[in-house]
Each structure stands twice: as structure tokens, then as C-alpha cells.
Structure 1
Amino acid sequence: MEFIFMLTRDDQTVKDCLNVLTEIEDVPLKHIGFKDIGVAPDVLRELHTRIKARGAATHLEVVSTSRDAALQSAKMAVDLGVDYLLGGTFVDETLEILSGSNVQYLPFPGQPTGHPTKLGGTPEEVAAQCTAFEQAGAAGVDLLAFRATDAEPLDLVEAARKATHGTLVVAGSIASISQIEALAAAGVDAFTIGQAAFTGTISPRFGSLRSQLQEALTAAAATAATSSAA
């Protein structure tokens, strides 16, 4: 299972994201992401360039639930040349914008609302959307399982895993090693953490951001080793 570090707090890219990236230069992150709000577009361009320069895959996650803003995010993904566009619900229109690019799209199944985003929807509804999204051409889904309001988070994960043949990412409100382990056991391909790393809740006895990221990487690697042994 892969760990995607999001340079975000409160569903926004942190204003000092470039400085943060420099501070964690020695942490072997393979996946780094950011939101489409919080900093100016020129900062996002510089951020994307620096992430790619260190050899990591880039992930842009859509925050807005409005059609116009979400589609603008898709255009930004193409402009930046990110590896993955996460989130959004306007799947057909987004895929049309991404057509011809190398951006892989993983939309939100369920019913995301508000900011910070909450996720409505039953396991059955999530599964049906996962199937429909992949049939439309999505590379998988980005599930806000721990933001759920109508179901147990792991029930949504199980439903999405059964219905998704491509990449299953779980994002939002992941803040502990036990959650990471549960996601690995459920067959999730990758998870995102942003705010919990900045606030030190992944592993509270460690004080630095670097240590929080290392703990998340270690947990992800441990789950991968366990899966291989099984």
C-alpha cells in the first residue's frame, strides 16, 4: 500500500508548502499531493515542478463541489501535468478535459458535500458509482471513507474494493496507524494523509513532521510486507 503525503491542512494547500517540501527533502516519499486551493497558481506550478524533480508522483485533489470550479481544477491538472487528479464528481466532463493527457483520474464516489468535505451515501450506492466511473474511463476512485455520514467507513471501503478493478485510494481524516492497518487489510491501494502529519497525530510521541511521515511510510511498508507474506 502506498502513502500519499498531502501538503494540506483544513482541505487547503498550506501557504508555506515550498518551504515544507525543502524541509522534508530527505524523506523518501514516492507520492506527494496538494489541493487546488490555498495558494496561487504560480506557487502550485513551482510546487509541482519541485515534486517531480525529486522523483515523486504528483496528485492534485479537487476540493470544490461546484461544476465550474471542479472542471477548472481538471484544466489545471492538465496544465500542470500532474500524474493523478483525485476527487470531483463530474466524471464525464472531467474525462473529456483530461482526454489526450497522461493524467489518471480517480473521482469521488458517494455524495461529497461542504468544506471540509463530508461524504454521504450507502455502500451500495458507492459500489454502483465505482463501477460506473470505471466504465466511463476513470482509473479508479478516491474514497472519503472516514468522512462518511451515512455508513461505517470500512463498510464503504469494502464495497468500493469489491466494485473497483483499478486504483482505490482512501483520503480524508486518516490520523492513526490503526486506520492505516485497517485500510491495508481491506485491500486499499493507497491512502492520503495531510493534516494529521502536520498536527502530529499519526504517532503522537514523535514531534517533527519528518518523524510523522517516516512513521506513516513504515506502517505502509509493514502492511505491504504482511500482504506479501500472506
Structure 2
Amino acid sequence: MPKSSVRRQTVKPLQAGDCAEVVAFCPPPAIAPQPTKEQVQDYGQKLRSGKSFLNLVLVNVATGINQHRLRQMRSKLKGDADVINLYSETEKIGALQKQAIARLEKLFKAVLKTEAFWEQTASWILMRLAQWEAEGRMPADCSIPGVLSVEIDPLLSEEAAWQESIVLSACAFYTASEWLSHLDLSGFSIEDVEKLLGIRSIDALAIEPPLFQGREIERVATGYPILTGHKH
């Protein structure tokens, strides 16, 4: 394809001002103790410095973007949709280079710099861990079949580490789902999406408008969202 015919797609980073509330406060029953401000701040710092949670959010975002790409491919192939090898597609996302994840992270850099994001996220997680302990069963909104899992904290007991991993993974899923719901990929070709994911060369892709729609991001855990990368 001649160089002049390459359409230069741009990607707009999400601004902190667009994010009124990233993680919804859906308080557990009153019998579950509310985390203190100090607990929230300490846990938020743990999430921020650990990187495991953020990386899982970004992998979920990449998975959602890839789902949009697969729908485009199926539409293009029409009756030959079965030629798409889903195992191969999963491997592509699993093998995302660090540069691709770092490029996705830049889209959310302004939000990730705010204390509010990390403290709201920490509160969501701590509330559900407290609910789990108080009720003796997994919170309903943390039961997500097939969700990607965060690494288990080796400093915790086996059961506590497992519970934390479940809740962290659910929160990462909901956070990614909310971010994806504000992506506008309608003008992106399969090739453009592959460049964004790092599957193709990014020569024709820039990090500027208009990937994100002009809607406010308010909250995450209001239901059971599906990683689609595009709202209908």
C-alpha cells in the first residue's frame, strides 16, 4: 500500500477530569466493618507500588480490544468465521510485549496519578474482603467465571491470599470493563487495532484523539459487564 494512503489513527489519553468515580462504592452489609482511612491509604499504596493489579487491568483492557478486533474479523470473513483460531488469539494477548502494555498504560496515565483512583479501588477491595470474612462466603460480585487472576501474595496465609486474589481479579475486571466502555473503536480498522495492541508495527498509530468518547467515567461495579471494547 502506498505510504500516502495509510490512514493515521490517533488515540486520546483519558484525562483525570473525565473520571468522576472509577470504582463504584457498593457497600457490603452493615455487619462487615468499614475500612479506616489509614487502611485505605495503606492498601492503595500497596496496589500502586505492586503493579500486579494495574498489569491485570491492562491485560483485561487488551483482551477487550482484541474482542472488538475478532468481531471485525468475523464480520469480514462472514461465513468463514470458524477459521479464526481462538487459541492462537489468546496466545497473542498472553504474549503482549511490555511495550504494548506500557503504551496502553499511557492512555490512563492521568487517572492513575490520582490518589482518588487508588483509594476508591482500595476501598472496593477491602469492603469485599471484610464482607467475605463477615458472611463466610464469596461476595456475589466477585464470582466471575473465567476471569483472569492476579498473582497471589506470598506474605499472606494460603486462604487469605486466595481470597485477596479473587477480589483483586474481580476489581481489575470491572475497572477494565468500565474503561473499555468509554473507548470508541468504531473508526479503527483491524490493522489499527492490531497496531494498538502491538501485534503490528505502530508506524501509523499516534497517541492522541479520538479513541475515548466525550463521556464521563463514573463508576465500575454496577453489574456484570462484558469486555467488549465498544458499546452498542
TM-score scaled by structure 2?
0.22
Larger RCO: Structure 1 or Structure 2 (Cα < 8 Å, ≥ 6 residues apart)?
Answer: 2
Calculate the TM-score normalised by the size of structure 1: 0.22
Q: Is the helix fraction higher in 1 or 2?
A: 2
